Chains A and B, each alone.
Chain A
Amino acid sequence: MNPPSISPELVEHLSALVGLDVPPGDRPLLQSVLANQAASAAALVPLELDDLEPIVTFDPRWR
C-alpha cells in the first residue's frame, strides 16, 4: 500500500473534520509529520497478524 500524498489542502480538510483550527504557522510542520506518520502506518498494513489480538483490553467487571 502506498502512503497517501499529504497536501496542504488535505491537512486543512482533516483538521476541519476533527474540529481543529490549526494555526497557519503550524501547517507546514504538521504536513511534514503527518506524511511521516501516514507512511509509517501504511507499512504496517501488509503484515499478516490474524492470529494476534490487539493490545486493547476490555474488562466487563464492575470496579
Chain B
Amino acid sequence: MTDILWLSIAEASDLLRSGDISSTELTRATLERIEASEPAVHAYAGVMAESATRDAQRADVELAAGGSRGPLHGIPVGVKDLCFTAGFPTSAGSRVLEGFVPSYDAAVVGKLRGAGAVIVGKTVTHEFAYGQDVPPTRNAWDHACYPGGSSAGSGVAVAVGSAFGAIGTDTGGSIRAPAAVNGVVGLKPTYGRVSRKGVFPMSPTLDTVGPLTRTVQDCALMLAAIAGRDGASDVWALDEPVPDYVASLSAGLEGVSVGIERDYFFYDAVAEEVRSAVEAAIATLASLGANIVEITIDGLELSVAAGMPVLLADTSEWHQRLLRRQSSDYVRETRVMLELGELVSATAYVRAQRVRATVQQGLRDAFDRHGLDAVLAPTLPLTTMPVEALSVDLTGDGQTALSTFIHHCFIANVVGVPALSVPVGFSPAGLPIGMQLFGRPFGEAALFRIGHAYQGATDWHNRHPALVPS
C-alpha cells in the first residue's frame, strides 16, 4: 500500500478517474502513513480522520457517477493550522487560541473542498507563523534537524508521504524554507493571487497563501484550484484572471531567459554544497535551452530593512488586544517580537514602505532590461541544522542562520512577486537543497515551466526519506 503514497497528484488523479484506485484507498493509506510517521516527525496539529473518510467516500460516489471536479478530486491534502476550518480547531500553533473552532472555512479551504480535495488534517505552524518558537515538528530527512518554518508541518507531511500536497503561508519565506529543507516543491504566489480570507494574518501587504507538493506539475494543479477571489466581495485577493497553469508546462526552455544575481544571492554565507548544487541546476537549465544571463539588481540589499518594520508593525497591530489580555499565553520569543512591533515609529513605517518601492523598481528594471522570465538563486544559503543549533534573530540584522534565510527569501514578499522553490540535490550528509525562481507579478506559469523542465531532466523529486533515517 505504501507505493500509492508516492504517486504524484497528477498520477493519482489519472488513476482515480480511470477507476484503478479509489479516494477511499488513497485516504486510508494516507491516514495510516500519518499514524506511522507522526511519532517521528509531528507534522500534524490535528488529524481529521472521520471527515476525511466521509469526504473520500463522497468523492468516490461522484467519480463513479462520472462527476470529476478536476485534478484534486479525491486527493488527500493537509492545510496549515493558520487557516480556518469550519467545525475543526484552528490554533495557529498558540496557546492564545486554545479551544478556538472557526465557524467557517478559509477561502483556500473552501476552494480545495470545491475542487474535491480530501482534507486529512491541520499541519503544524510556528506560533502565529512568526517563526520564533521551536515547534515539535522535525525534518523529514533527519529527525534531529529543523523542519523549516513557519509552514513546518506542511513541508514535512508532503516529504514523508502523509499528504499528497499541503497548504502553507509565506510572509518572509515560510513556504520556501520548509520546501527547501525537506526536499519538496513550494510556491509563494504573487501577492493577492490566492485569497487570505480566513487565514490568521501577519501583514496585509506581505502575507501569501500557497501550495507545497512533490512535483512542479502538482504545484501548478494546486495553484489552479486555489487561485483567485472567493466571490466578488472578497477583498483578500486581487481581481486578476487565473490563467491555465498547466497548458505551458511542457513548452520547454527555448527562448526562456533566467537571470543570475551573484552579488546578493551567491555571497560568502552560501555553503559550498549549496553553491555547487545550484550551479549544477543552472547548467542543467542551460543544457535544456534556457538563456542564462548574469545580472545586477539595484536595491536588493535594502529589502530586509524595508520589509521588517512593515512586518513587525503590521503583525503587532493585529495582536494589540490579545497581547494585553493574554500576554503570558504567548511563547516568550513571539511576545518579544510583538512588543518590538509596537515600538516601530510611524515615520519609520512609512519610510520603509517608500524604500519598498525602490526595491520593487530595481527588480522590475532588471526583468525589463534583460527580458527575463525568472531570476534564479539558492532558496536558502544553507541546508538544515540540528534543532538545538538554531539561533533566532528575526530582525534580520544578525548573522544567524535564520537571518540569512530571510536575506534570501524576504525580497519576494517585499515586492510581491512569485517565488518557486524546487529541489536540486542533497548535501554529502543527505540533506536537501533547493533553488528558488523569482518571477514577474502573476508570472507563476513561467516559473512552473522552468521548474517542470528541470524536474523532467533530474530525479531529486523522486527520492523519499525513510521513516527511520539511517
Q: Which of A18, A33, A49, A52 has the most CB of B within 10 A?
A: A33
A63→B351 contact, CB < 8 A: no
A44→B302 contact, CB < 8 A: yes
Within 8 A of A (CB), among B189-241: 205, 235
Which of B324, B340, B393 contacts A19, CB < 8 Å?
Answer: B324
Which of A18, A19, A37, A55 contacts B356, CB < 8 Å?
Answer: A55
Counted as pairs of residues, one from A and one from B, with CB atoms less than 8 Å apart, the total is 100
Asked if A37 meets B339 with Cβ closer than 8 Å, knowing A47-B355, A52-B358, A55-B356, the reply is no
CA distance A43 to B333 in the complex (A): 25
B95 is an interface residue with CB less than 8 A from chain A: no
A20→B342 contact, CB < 8 A: yes
B324→A37 contact, CB < 8 A: no
CA distance A49 to B351 in the complex (A): 9
A15 is an interface residue with CB less than 8 A from chain B: yes
Which of B305, B352, B361 contacts A52, CB < 8 Å?
Answer: B361
Neighbouring B residues of A54 by C-beta, 8 Å: 350-351, 353-354, 356-357
Q: Which of B337, B344, B357 has the most CB of A within 10 A?
A: B357
A36 is an interface residue with CB less than 8 A from chain B: yes
Asked if A15 meets B357 with Cβ closer than 8 Å, knowing A37-B309, A41-B348, the reply is no
B358→A34 contact, CB < 8 A: no
Q: Which of A41, A53, A55 has the most CB of B within 10 A?
A: A55
Chain B 378-404 per-residue mask, 1 if CB under 8 angstroms from chain A, else 0: 000000000000000111111000000
Cβ distance B130 to chain A, nearest Cβ, rounded Å = 12
From B335, which residue of chain A is reached at the shortest CB distance? A26
Cβ distance A56 to chain B, nearest Cβ, rounded Å = 5
B370 is an interface residue with CB less than 8 A from chain A: no
CA distance A47 to B309 in the complex (A): 16
Which of A20, A53, A55 contacts B323, CB < 8 Å?
Answer: A20
B355→A37 contact, CB < 8 A: no
B351→A45 contact, CB < 8 A: yes
A56→B350 contact, CB < 8 A: yes
Neighbouring B residues of A19 by C-beta, 8 Å: 324
Binding site secondary structure of chain B:
helix
CA distance A10 to B308 in the complex (A): 21
Cβ distance A5 to chain B, nearest Cβ, rounded Å = 15
A7 is an interface residue with CB less than 8 A from chain B: no
A55→B357 contact, CB < 8 A: yes
Neighbouring A residues of B306 by C-beta, 8 Å: 44
A18→B343 contact, CB < 8 A: yes
Neighbouring B residues of A53 by C-beta, 8 Å: 354, 357
Chain A 10-44 per-residue mask, 1 if CB under 8 angstroms from chain B, else 0: 00001100111111011001100110110111011
A33→B309 contact, CB < 8 A: no
B355→A40 contact, CB < 8 A: no
Which of B333, B336, B353 contacts A55, CB < 8 Å?
Answer: B353
B343→A14 contact, CB < 8 A: yes
CA distance A22 to B339 in the complex (A): 8
B287 is an interface residue with CB less than 8 A from chain A: no
B54 is an interface residue with CB less than 8 A from chain A: no
Within 8 A of A (CB), among B304-359: 304-306, 308-309, 312, 323-324, 327-328, 332-333, 335-337, 339-340, 342-345, 348, 350-358
Neighbouring A residues of B304 by C-beta, 8 Å: 40
Neighbouring A residues of B340 by C-beta, 8 Å: 30, 33-34, 37
Cβ distance B147 to chain A, nearest Cβ, rounded Å = 24
Asked if A44 meets B305 with Cβ closer than 8 Å, knowing A33-B340, A37-B395, A54-B354, the reply is yes
Q: 21 A-B pairs, CB-CB below 8 angstroms? A: A14-B343, A19-B324, A20-B342, A21-B324, A21-B327, A26-B339, A29-B332, A30-B339, A33-B336, A33-B393, A33-B395, A37-B397, A40-B397, A41-B344, A41-B348, A41-B351, A41-B352, A43-B305, A52-B357, A55-B357, A55-B360
Beyond the given pairs A36-B398, A55-B205, 6 more chain A to chain B contacts, judged by CB atoms under 8 angstroms and listed by A's residue number, are A18-B342, A30-B339, A37-B395, A37-B397, A44-B355, A54-B356
> Which of A's residues lie within 8 Å of B, judged by CB?
14-15, 18-23, 25-26, 29-30, 33-34, 36-37, 39-41, 43-45, 47, 49, 52-56, 63
